[in-house]
Amino acid sequence: MGKPGGFLEYERENDLTVAPLDRIKNFDEFHKNLSPEKRKAQAARCMECGIPFCQAGEMISGMASGCPLHNLVPETNDALYRGNIAQAFERLSLTHSFPEFTSRVCPALCEAACTCSVNGESVTTKDNEKYIIEYAFEHGLVKAKVPTVRTGKKVAVIGSGPSGLAAAAALNGRGHSVTVFERNDRAGGLLRYGIPNMKLDKRVIDRRLKIMEESGIEFKYGSDVGKNVKAKDLLKEYDRVVLACGASNPRDINAPGRDASGIYFAVDFLKEVSKKLMDENYDVEKLTECKTMSWGNLKGKNVVIIGGGDTGNDCVGTSIRLGAGSVIQLEMMPGPPVSRTASNPWPEWPKVLKTDYGQEEAIAVFGSDPRIYQTTVTEFVKDKAGKLKEIKTVKLEPQKDPKTGRMNMVPVKGSEEVMKADLVLIAAGFLGSQDYVVNDFGVERNARTNVATEEGAYATSKEKVFVCGDMHRGQSLVVWAIAEGRAAAKAVDESLMGYSNL
């Protein structure tokens, strides 16, 4: 149970962080491990409470509380505290496919539900997890495991994001022959092309992919299922198909002037930057000086990001690294409170103000928080050449609909403003999977535009076809995608074998 009273003896200490003005000079990861002694002290703070909400993964008030993977958090922290890191890795591996991903990009649902956070600061479970998995890689504990017996069953996984990779790893480990189809030139999905390198170094993904390939999983790149690869052919060749294509339909902003050049979806912007960085062998100078990007060179330009959340923040940090002259982030909703309100008690996910790395960097560079709340764009203003030069905005205020009782954000008269804008990035979320994939397989959708299944199930309306990840539950977290991939793999295995030991 860690060290009795450890949470009273030791203060929470996060991983070391490179200062904002230093880290914006490159696209490198900027969190550094504590020393082994300090890391053990952090693990000592975990008390193995009677009910470890950290590993519950339950939905409370519509939000997840605790880890959806049900990681054995107290056991893992105890092993780390006692210096048995190999055992900690073994316990972590029982429930988790890719700790190296979530320990970098997860918002730490486990920590938000930690009992220590009721009256103090939570255990550093996320940083502890990263320490364990990096130790495991450094000491050769993460190895390719080729199944000794193959079942003779073939499974196609469509999409190589976190849910697809998790499903593929589990099914291959069971002995099925797995082929992953990816439309891009590299595997990883939004892990690779939607998350910037300073948050998740792409070589971390490559390291895992190498192990998966050595374990017997085949990857086929440039395979755009629904276009150059047809569903009917896959259904003939494979015993089961798992759809893990993500929720890749970006939500648009329909305002006058939307056709101006200089407006991009955030996911396209981040993808192009990540691809260029990898193509240039991570040479940041070639990237920042590059003029062959769709938007040219960002140096000195005014960037406006529409939308908050992780993607909006990633656009802030990326724009700053590319030399933007100003960065503004518009959010429609009111700013959250600084601390929990009475209506948002523990162990619910805390709906409080979070200043992420991109906003920290904007404050350091420009002197102020880039976020402007309760504001939306009413028009994109073009110059004579059709190029974006300004945006028109209006303030919003919450107003209750007298008929439905719902709160709507409505424009405030007289609050219109004009802002300079050379580049606009739309980070307004996603609206489900792309039509051509769904239509080619002929699977049904639900009212939320996700691929439909029965409650708690992963089999679609089409025989032999299963679904997982964002394509199933809608836009969500990497940790949920991995949990979905593992659960879908079990469902596929049961359908093939009549039982499952996954």
Phi/psi of residue 293, nearest 5 degrees = -65, 160
Is pLDDT of 23 > 80?
yes
- pLDDT value at position 286? 80
Phi-psi region of 404 (alpha: psi -120 to 50; beta: other; left: phi over 0): alpha
8 A C-beta contact, residue 192 and residue 199: no
CATH topology match: 6-138 vs 154-249+431-497: no
How large is the average pLDDT for residues 50-58? 91
Kindly report whether the global pTM for this prediction surpasses the value 0.85.
Answer: yes
- Minimum mean pLDDT range among 297-301, 389-393, 431-435: 431-435
Host H or E run for residue 191: helix 190-193
What are the tens digits of pLDDT across the range 169-186? 999 999 999 999 999 999
The residue written with tokens 């499974």 in the block is: 155
Phi/psi of residue 265, nearest 5 degrees = -75, 140
- pLDDT value at position 207? 98
Q: Which residues contact 145 (CB under 8 A, 6 or more apart)?
A: 173, 215
How large is the average pLDDT for residues 327-350? 94
Is pLDDT of 215 > 90?
yes
How large is the average pLDDT for residues 70-83? 96
CA dist., res. 442 & res. 445, Å (int)? 10
CA dist., res. 298 & res. 321, Å (int)? 9
Please report, for the chain, the start and end positions of each structural domain, with discontinuous segments joined by +.
Answer: 6-138, 154-249+431-497, 263-426
- pLDDT value at position 50? 84
- pLDDT value at position 256? 97
Assigned token pair, 163 = 């849910």
Q: Which residues contact 459 (CB under 8 A, 6 or more apart)?
A: 453, 465, 466, 491, 495
8 A C-beta contact, residue 440 and residue 231: yes
CA dist., res. 337 & res. 265, Å (int)? 29
CA dist., res. 468 & res. 451, Å (int)? 9
Of 157, 231, 244, the C-alpha closest to 440 is: 231
Q: Which CATH class is domain 154-249+431-497?
A: alpha beta
Is pLDDT of 248 > 90?
no
* Helix (DSSP H) and strand (DSSP E) numbers for the chain: 19, 18
How large is the average pLDDT for residues 137-150? 97
Q: Are strands 31-32 and 417-420 parallel, antiparallel or unpaired?
A: unpaired
Got the DSSP string for 10-40? S---PPEE--HHHHTTSSS--EEPPPHHHHH
- pLDDT value at position 166? 98
Is pLDDT of 287 > 90?
no
> What is the residue-averaged pLDDT of the chain?
95
Is pLDDT of 458 > 80?
yes
How large is the average pLDDT for residues 247-259? 94
Residues of the chain with pLDDT > 90: what percent?
Answer: 88
Read off the amino acid at residue 453. T
How large is the average pLDDT for residues 352-365? 97
- pLDDT value at position 162? 98
CATH for 263-426, options being 3.40.30.10, 3.20.20.70, 3.50.50.60, 3.40.50.360: 3.50.50.60
What are the tens digits of pLDDT across the range 225-241? 999 999 999 999 999 99
CATH topology of domain 6-138: Fumarate Reductase Iron-sulfur Protein; Chain B, domain 2 (1.10.1060)
Is pLDDT of 291 > 80?
no
- Minimum mean pLDDT range among 116-120, 148-152, 223-227, 236-240: 116-120
Is pLDDT of 289 > 80?
no
